[in-house]
Amino acid sequence: MKARVVVTLKSGILDPQGKAIEGALKSLGVEGVASVRQGKVFDVEFAGADANAAKTQLRTACEKLLANTVIENYQIDV
């Protein structure tokens, strides 16, 4: 079973990398971009098929390692 975890910066946290990408997009002529925020995606494969168990494990993974909850939010999709 495949799961995806998306970690993004909380709103209000300055994202210098997102700002730099935003600037690069504008200089490439990509029009209409108001802002860019950078995040991380983790694709995790589970051996079993229990979605609820996987979600519980991934919440632990996010709280303990994948996200720094001081500055980041996470979203789990199983």
Partner 1 sequence: MKTAIVVFPGSNREGDMARALKQATGVAPAMLWHADHDLPAGTDLVVLPGGFSYGDYLRCGAIAGRAAIMDAVRAHATRGGLVLGVCNGFQILCESGLLPGVLMRNANLRFVCRMQHLKVERNDTAFTRHYAKGQIIEVCIAHGEGNYEADDATIERLESEGLVAFRYCDSAGRVGGDANPNGSRNDIAGIYSEKRNVLGLMPHPENLIDPLVGGTDGRALFESLARAA
3-state secondary structure of 5: strand
Q: How far is the CB of 49 from partner 1 (least distance, A)?
A: 28
Alpha carbon distance 18, 36 (integer Å): 5
For 20-48, the DSSP string reads HHHHHHHHTT-TT------EEEEEEE-SS
Taking the complex as a whole, the smallest distance from the CB of residue 46 to partner 1 amounts, in Å, to 20
- Residue 20 binds to partner 1 (criterion: CB under 8 A): yes
**In the bound complex, what is the minimum distance in angstroms from residue 52's beta carbon to partner 1?**
25
Residue 14 vs 49, nearer CB to partner 1: 14
- Residue 16 C-beta-side C-alpha neighbours within 13 Å: 0
13 binds partner 1, rule: CB under 8 A: yes
Enumerate binding residues for partner 1 (CB under 8 A).
13-14, 16-17, 20, 64-66, 68, 70-71
